[in-house]
Amino acid sequence: MKFVSIWKPDRAVWVAQPDEEHMAAMGRLINELMSEGVLLDTGGVSDGGSSLRVQRAGGKVSVTDGPFTETKEIVGGFAIFKVNSKDEAIALTRRFLEIAGDGMSELHEVSEIS
């Protein structure tokens, strides 16, 4: 099973600069999970200033440049896990949030097309 975790930090966490200890702890977790083969990819997401919204409505596609002031949630990053169960994906996400701090992660199972 594959899951994508989308991290949405609290605003206070997003604007705070992580210290060296925090960054080292996150690096250790990422290296551990990648070496175990359960973390396939991860990355941060830039602030809303460089975001785009691509929308299709009525058969027409439009592209809008960010930032989007009406957006209340911040997307801070993502991770893609390859795990044996939903419970394992939840456990990995809990470990991430223990280091990342306050906020939430949405877990979505990835449908694999064969």
Q: What is the DSSP string of 45-113?
A: ---GGG-EEEEEETTEEEEEES--TT--S---EEEEEE-SSHHHHHHHHHHHHHHH-SEEEEEEEEPPP
Rounded Cα distance between 4 and 15, Å, is: 24
Residues counted in the chain: 114
Furthest C-alpha separation in the chain: 50
DSSP label at 5? E
Average confidence (pLDDT) over 65-72? 69
Q: What is the pLDDT of residue 64?
A: 84
Q: What is the pLDDT of residues 81-103, one digit of tens each?
A: 999 999 999 999 999 999 998 89
List the domains of the chain with CATH numbers. 2-110 (3.30.70.1060)
Strand 52-57 to 39-44 pairing: unpaired
Q: What is the pLDDT of residue 32?
A: 96
Assess contact for 1 and 84: CB atoms under 8 A: yes
Average confidence (pLDDT) over 43-62? 83
Given the structure tokens 């990648």, which residue do they identify? Answer: 34
